[in-house]
Amino acid sequence: MPSLERHPRVDLPPDTFLSLRRRAWLASHGVRDRAREIGFVRTRDHWHLALHRYGATPTARHPVLLVHGLAANRFSWDLDEERSFATWLASRGFDVFVLELRGHGRSEKPGVRAPLPDELDRRGRLGVGAPKRWRWDFDTYVDLDLDAALDAVLAWTGASAVHAIGHSMGGIALSVLAHREDPRLHSVATVASALDYSGTESVFHAARRMLWMTRIVPVVPLGPIAAALSPVALAFPNPIDAVNVWHRNVEVGRYRRLVALGFHPIPGDVLADLAACFVRPGIRDGSTPVAIGLPKHTPLTALAGSRDVQCTPVAAARHAGGTCRAFGREHGHAEDFGHFDLLMGTHAPSAVWPELQGWLESHD
């Protein structure tokens, strides 16, 4: 059983790490919490991560951890009343936790005066410590953030292992842990994720040529840019929206809500690490290419959208034994799917969500 002392739970008000401007922005969009509990866990390097817990009467043996993608947050999994995979899954008997990685959502962000371990009083209130900076890489998400979240979910629930579902970069991070045969993972499902994009038609092959800019601007301010553009999202065909969704599979208003609420700045070091996915044999864990073969003991499956210009089904299948559950018209579905609409699109509740539920139930 994981130790709470290693990754202690810290009782803080849910909006501790939100600026007044961010709180007002969320309120202006009518955001309300559907999670029954919001807790924080402290990582080994003293960052505080938000865990949102859904569901009141779980019947499944293993809890479920949902991990968002690059620059994203909990709104990928819980956008509104009708498009909340987290609440939908919890209503079917699962104890569901949504993690927000450092710098995302309600989790701690750079610029906040961070507490050191001995600066928390007996009630877990914050003291004054060193300021955090936008200097972390992809391995930080795997080795520190996911490590803390997995320990926390097991400690809070008393379970022996968890099911984990990751979207995009979240699926990449979980796949690394699965290939390490981390005993805390009971099963892993990735959605729109790939470990090796080399030779595929991903739009990010072109973006790799711009990585040199991260040496000048170490943080890409995606969140503020997206929020500013949200009122005109999908107003006309454009390559930015095409990266995120297949336009025929989303309602414009709902997609604009995602763009307004769902993105944050990206550290340049994270982008530099993820660039390894686009050069064969893809991302590595140390010196080992992760995309080679399935993990021996951790069941792993991959889902992908037929119109996803970030991650094609061919790329997604490379770390799942050469197979991938693809979603789109040619696969018998009512519409094609892009990147985010696999989670919050018009046809996600009828096509993708039941597939994930079936995976969890068959491995529970």
Task: Dump pLDDT digits (tens) for 236-263.
Answer: 989 899 999 999 999 999 999 999 999 9
Q: Which residues, 6+ apart, have CB-to-CB distance to 210 below 8 Å?
A: none
Distance CA 288, CA 280 (A): 12
- Predicted local distance difference test score (pLDDT) of residue 320: 77
Q: How far is CA 357 from the centre of its chain?
A: 18
List the single range of 54-63, 292-301, 304-313 with lowest mean pLDDT. 292-301
What CATH number did the domain enclosing 92 receive?
A: 3.40.50.1820
Of the chain, the end-to-end C-alpha distance in Å amounts to: 19
Reported confidence tier of residue 4, pLDDT bands at 50, 70, 90: very low
Q: Report yes or no on 4 lying in a domain.
A: no
Q: Report yes or no on 265 lying in a domain.
A: yes
Distance CA 167, CA 315 (A): 14
The residues that bridge with 76 in the sheet, in sequence order, are: none
- Predicted local distance difference test score (pLDDT) of residue 228: 96
Q: Report yes or no on 3 lying in a domain.
A: no
Of residues 112, 94, 2, the one with CA closest to residue 56: 94
Question: Residue 103: is its pLDDT beyond 80?
Answer: yes
Tokens of 351: 């096509």
The total of structural domains in the chain comes to 1
Model pLDDT for residues 11-70, shown as the tens digit of each residue: 899 999 999 999 999 999 999 999 999 999 999 998 999 999 998 889 999 999 999 999
Tokens of 237: 């065909």
Reported confidence tier of residue 284, pLDDT bands at 50, 70, 90: confident
Q: Report yes or no on 40 lying in a domain.
A: yes
Cα angle at 171 between 167 and 176, to 5 degrees?
Answer: 170
Reported confidence tier of residue 112, pLDDT bands at 50, 70, 90: low
Q: Report yes or no on 120 lying in a domain.
A: yes
Q: Which residue has the tokens 């709902």?
A: 254
Model pLDDT for residues 168-185, shown as the tens digit of each residue: 999 999 999 999 999 999
Asked if residues 142 and 253 have their Cβ atoms less than 8 Å apart, the reply is no
Q: Report yes or no on 2 lying in a domain.
A: no
Q: Report yes or no on 301 lying in a domain.
A: yes
- Predicted local distance difference test score (pLDDT) of residue 3: 41
- Percent of the chain scored above 90 by pLDDT? 73
Show the domain range for 54: 9-362
Reported confidence tier of residue 199, pLDDT bands at 50, 70, 90: confident
Neighbours of 114 (CB within 10 A): 22
Q: Reduce the DSSP state of residue 285 to 3 states and report it.
A: strand
- Predicted local distance difference test score (pLDDT) of residue 114: 52
Q: Report yes or no on 1 lying in a domain.
A: no
